[in-house]
Amino acid sequence: MRLNDIIENLPCTVTAGNTDRRLIPGDIRIDALSNDTRRISENSLFFCIRGANFDSHDLASEAAEKGAAAIVVQRDVQLPEGCEIPVVRVQDTRVAMARFAAAFYGHPAEKLRTIGVTGTKGKTTTTYLIRQMLENAGYETGLIGTIEIVIGDEHIPADNTTPESLTLQEMMRRMVDAGCAAVVMEVSSQALMLHRTDGFTFDVGVFTNLEADHIGPNEHRDFADYLHCKSLLFKQCRTGIANVDDSHFKEVMEGHTCELITFGFSKGADYRGAEPMLIRKPGELGVVFQISGRLDMRAEFRMPGQFSAYNALCAVAVARFFDCDELQIEDALRRVRVSGRVEMIPVSDTFTLLIDYAHNAMALESLLVTLREYRPNRLITLFGCGGNRSKDRRYRMGEVSGKLSDLTVVTSDNPRNEDPMAIIRDIEEGLARTTGEYVEIPDRREAIRYCIEHGEPGDIIVLAGKGHELYQEIQGTKYPMDERVLIREILTELEHERG
């Protein structure tokens, strides 16, 4: 593709190196896009990006020396003496990167029905539900999210909730080429703040809920900034589908430019939930509720708690926008299981064991409060905390589990470069602020075995923190660890031991 075809729809100037001499891009050939000097190839367009910890404008000279065909900048850069590589000057290189990527990949979003889901909680589960409902209705649907990117039968592990714009546009191009008709994606506040989803308009933007989260030096400066970034999606979509019950609904929707459809359990919602009932079957927890308003049906979703009812209701509202019928919706609610999101693993007909990604105090508290509503004989929580992270998280998670669990099994998570026992001691400091009982089993496999061996009728056992992760990180190395595999191995061992 020619450089001129990539940059023509964004105000910019092109000069020969650092000179004032203007260039007409003309026939400059671009075969690849990159914002990483380690991945520069011949005829690539290199983007200089100002990040939280590093500004790659400082690598412009390296990019030129490695053979980049042109570079995109938003400030002056150093180049080798006499180098007259085309320099594309823009106001914001992140915006330019997203829009140039959309042009380079042939504007794939225009060939897909695009659905973006934002919110503090529920994004992952909701996207999987929406995808299954659309697939049931005959839409081949791609998925982009925290766990993975799905293109047909291909599953690609994800690095970010919403990938960088270069990857995002490439993945949508691959979806189009694979015959997808739609894509549903998680859209994080970071992605909106960093313009990763610029360059196209979503057909549908979805708002699940909002709580204080992702506030810190490398994320959002305060809650107001976090809320503002979430709200940007509703100025970048044609139709918004939003949780009217959320306390921040009006603030998030303020200034929206989309048509609005609402869901919730309050009277004025377009898709209105009512009569939620918790259901418990051998080894399984769920929720059933009535939907009225724009659709009348009874919905049963095999994930626990009121928040699961909201996720299901949200997905139903999106599915109906795309004309999915009741049978297609009911089938998805029965079938969908999301890796590491209150994922129930069948181990016993007498107690329930589940895996969840809850890895901070807020998520763990929400999960345990929900499970308490099912009135378990005992609520047993197994968790550890990641190394190279805040000690305060460990104290708070220990305190939450101590208050809400009948028994806490303290173990290892991803110790990274820290001593696992030092992390465990921090967790126990939080537990000591409560009267909760706990046992310490540093080896996570042995800790899981302990829980299974000591499960009693009516217990609910939670393995928290790892969720969908398939590794344990120790001293810079990621070792394979899938809790589902560990559980199968443990069950086989116990069966052999019992003869």
- Three state DSSP letters for the chain: CEHHHHHCCCCCEEEECCCCCECCCCCCECCEEECCHHHCCCCEEEECCECCCCEHHHHHHHHHHCCCCEEEECCCCCCCCCCCCEEEECCCHHHHHHHHHHHHCCCHHHHCEEEEEECCCCHHHHHHHHHHHHHHCCCCEEEECCCEEEECCEEEECCCCCCCHHHHHHHHHHHHHCCCCEEEEECCHHHHHCCCCCCCCEEEEEECCCCCCCECCCCECCHHHHHHHHHHHHHCEEEEEEECCCCCHHHHHCCCCCEEEEEECCCCCCEEEEEEEEEEECCEEEEEEEEEECCCEEEEECCCCHHHHHHHHHHHHHHHHCCCCHHHHHHHHHHCCCCCCCEEECCCCCCEEEEECCCCHHHHHHHHHHHHCCCCCCEEEEECCCCCCCHHHHHHHHHHHHHHCCEEEECCCCCECCCHHHHHHHHHHHHCCCCCEEEECCCHHHHHHHHHHCCCCCCEEEEECCCCCCEEEECCEEEECCHHHHHHHHHHHHHHHCC
Confidence of residue 52 (pLDDT cuts 50, 70, 90): confident
Q: Is the pLDDT of residue 370 over 90?
A: yes
Q: What average pLDDT does the segment 73-83 reach?
A: 94
Give the C-alpha separation, 455 to 287, whole Å: 24
Q: How far is CA 341 from CA 164, 356, 454, in A?
A: 24, 5, 23
- pLDDT at position 348, please? 94
User: Which of 335, 364, 398 marks a domain boundary?
Assistant: 335
Percent of the chain with pLDDT over 70: 98
pTM of this prediction? 0.92
**For residue 413, how far is the Cα from the chain centroid?**
20
Q: How many domains does the chain have?
A: 3
Same domain, 264 and 328: yes
What CATH number does the domain containing 288 carry? Answer: 3.40.1190.10
- pLDDT at position 498, please? 87
Same domain, 367 and 471: yes
Q: What average pLDDT does the segment 122-131 reach?
A: 96
Q: Is the pLDDT of residue 221 over 80?
A: no
Same domain, 87 and 131: no
- Contacts of residue 322, Cβ cutoff 8 Å, sequence gap at least 6: 113, 133, 134, 137, 139, 182
Same domain, 305 and 254: yes
What CATH number does the domain containing 389 carry? Answer: 3.90.190.20
Cβ contact 240:207 at 8 Å: yes
- Contacts of residue 425, Cβ cutoff 8 Å, sequence gap at least 6: none
- In sequence order, the β-bridge partners of residue 240 are 205, 260
Same domain, 354 and 490: yes
- pLDDT at position 466, please? 96
Cβ contact 209:117 at 8 Å: no
Q: What average pLDDT does the segment 390-419 reach?
A: 96
Q: Is the pLDDT of residue 385 over 60?
A: yes
Same domain, 201 and 239: yes
Same domain, 76 and 220: no
User: Which of 335, 359, 393 marks a domain boundary?
Assistant: 335
Same domain, 36 and 80: yes
Pick from 238, 262, 236: which is nearest to 250 by CA? 262
Which tokens is 357 given? Answer: 């990604």
Pick from 63, 86, 61, 91: which is nearest to 75 by CA? 91
- pLDDT at position 27, please? 81
Q: Is the pLDDT of residue 410 over 90?
A: yes
Give the C-alpha separation, 144 to 316, whole Å: 19
- Contacts of residue 249, Cβ cutoff 8 Å, sequence gap at least 6: 207, 242, 243
Same domain, 215 and 260: yes
The predicted-structure confidence for 265-318, as pLDDT tens digits, reads as follows 999 999 999 999 999 988 889 999 999 999 999 999 999 998 999 999 999 999
Q: Which of the given ranges, 16-20, 119-123, 389-393, 400-404, has the highest pLDDT on average? A: 400-404
- pLDDT at position 25, please? 77
Phi, psi of 260 (to 5 degrees): -125, 130
Which tokens is 191 given? Answer: 């992605």
Average pLDDT, the chain: 95
Same domain, 331 and 413: no
What CATH number does the domain containing 51 carry? Answer: 3.40.1390.10
Residue 196 structural domain: 108-335
Give the C-alpha separation, 50 to 77, whole Å: 12
Confidence of residue 24 (pLDDT cuts 50, 70, 90): confident
Confidence of residue 9 (pLDDT cuts 50, 70, 90): confident
User: Which of 313, 335, 357 marks a domain boundary?
Assistant: 335
Q: What average pLDDT does the segment 401-405 reach?
A: 98
Same domain, 218 and 365: no
List the Cα angle 246/247/251 in 5-degree steps.
100
- pLDDT at position 26, please? 75
Q: How far is CA 490 from CA 92, 319, 445, 461, in A?
A: 53, 40, 8, 15
The predicted-structure confidence for 320-338, as pLDDT tens digits, reads as follows 999 999 999 999 999 999 9
Q: Is the pLDDT of residue 213 over 90?
A: no
The predicted-structure confidence for 175-190, as pLDDT tens digits, reads as follows 999 999 999 999 999 9
- pLDDT at position 217, please? 56
Q: Is the pLDDT of residue 220 over 70?
A: no
Give the C-alpha separation, 430 to 408, whole Å: 12
Give the C-alpha separation, 399 to 406, whole Å: 13
Same domain, 318 and 378: no
